[in-house]
Amino acid sequence: MKEVRGQAVVEQLQQSMPSGGLFRGKSWRWSDQPWMMETEEVRWLEGLGKKLAVFQRAADKLYRESALGNQPRWVAEWLDLGKPDEVIRAGRAAKAALPRVIRPDLIRTESGWALTEIDAVPGGVGLTAWLQEEYSKLGHSILGGAKGMRSIGEEILGEQGEVVISEEAGDYRPEWEWLVGKERLQSAETYRPKKGAAYRFFEMFDWMKLERIRSAKEDGVKWEAPLKAYLEEKLWWALFWMKPLEEWWRKELGEGYFKELRGLVPRAWPLRPIELPPEGVLPELGIQSWSELEGFSQKARELV
166-176 confidence digits (pLDDT tens): 999 999 999 99
pLDDT at 71 over 90: yes
Burial 72-82 (b: 16+ CB within 10 A, else e): beebbebbbee
Spatial CA neighbour of 90 closest among 198, 297, 185, 231: 231
Of 136, 59, 66, 151, nearest to 101 by C-alpha is 151
The pLDDT of residue 304 is 57
Q: How many Cβ atoms sit within 10 Å of the Cβ of residue 98?
A: 17
Give the span between the Cα atoms of 21 and 188, in whole angstroms.
22
Average pLDDT of the chain, as a whole number: 90
- Which region among 17-26, 166-175, 273-282 has the lowest average model confidence (pLDDT)? 273-282
**Three-class SS of residue 211?**
helix
- Compare 301 and 38 and report the one with higher pLDDT: 38
Alpha carbon separation from 223 to 13, 64, 163, 213 (Å, rounded)? 34, 19, 10, 12
Taking residues 131-159, report their average pLDDT: 91
Residue 3: pLDDT band (50, 70, 90) is very low
pLDDT of the residue at 254: 98
Does the structure show a pLDDT above 90 at 27?
no
Query: DSSP state, 36?
Result: P
Mean pLDDT, residues 88-107: 92
Percent of the chain scoring above 90 in pLDDT: 68
**Where do the structural domains in the chain lie, given as residue ranges?**
39-232, 272-304
Burial of 252 (0-12, 13-18, 19+ CB in 10 A): middle
pLDDT (mean) for 79-97: 94
Average pLDDT over residues 40-65: 96
pLDDT value for 220: 77
Name the least confident of 24-28, 63-67, 151-155, 224-228.
Answer: 24-28
Q: What's the confidence (pLDDT) of residue 118?
A: 94
Q: Is the pLDDT of residue 4 over 50?
A: no
Q: Is the pLDDT of residue 107 over 60?
A: yes
What pLDDT, on the 0 to 100 scale, is given for residue 303?
Answer: 59
Tell me the pTM. Answer: 0.88
Average pLDDT score over residue span 225-244: 95
Give pLDDT, residue 270: 86
Which residues are 108's β-sheet partners? 113
